[in-house]
Amino acid sequence: MNVILKQDVEKLGKVGDVVKVAPGYGRNYLVPRKFAVEATPGNMKIIEIEKLAMAKRDQREKDAASLLAGELVKLTAVVKRKTGEEGSLYGSVTSQDIAEFLAGRQIEIDKRKIQLEEPIKAVGEYQVPIRLHREVTASIKVVVEPETE
């Protein structure tokens, strides 16, 4: 059975790909969950039109992300936290803290796009990558300072 993918499916293909799958897999899993449609000539034309619209939308989003990346590179997030001996933090700096800093600068970024592998637990300077788009990633400088009393 040939189907046209409407969403990216891991280990199968990307949006718009025409793939051959087992009839049961296509009929019982892909089609009911709206991951794919049957590859008929009419559906092929519809998918081509949707692909063009998606490409235009994706390019607009990429351009907007590139502009935002230019702004983010200029920013330095200064975070003050209580520290113990030897510069270790009593808490940690998380992606939520960085998202709140950016929200204070009228830049709305979802905390899940901030790619902080693990929370920052020591004083210092860090480069934190932010994935704005599939192809655009910017880094923001995060400076963690001890809180003065």
Range of the domain at 115: 72-146
Three-class secondary structure of residue 64 per DSSP:
helix
The residue out of 49, 66, 83 marking a domain boundary is 66
User: What digits encode the pLDDT tens for the residues 77-135?
Assistant: 999 888 887 778 888 899 999 999 999 999 999 999 999 989 998 899 999 999 999 88
Question: What percent of the chain is predicted at pLDDT more than 90?
Answer: 59
Cα 81 to its chain centre, rounded Å, is: 28
Q: Is residue 97 located within the same domain as residue 57?
A: no
User: Residue 12: what pLDDT?
Assistant: 92
The residue out of 66, 87, 117 marking a domain boundary is 66
Report pTM.
0.70
Q: Is residue 120 located within the same domain as residue 97?
A: yes
Closest CA to 71 of 146, 9, 130, 144: 130
The C-alpha angle 102, 147, 81, rounded to 5 degrees, equals: 50
Q: Is residue 50 located within the same domain as residue 6?
A: yes
Q: Is residue 89 located within the same domain as residue 131?
A: yes
Residues 6+ away with beta carbon under 8 Å from 54: 15
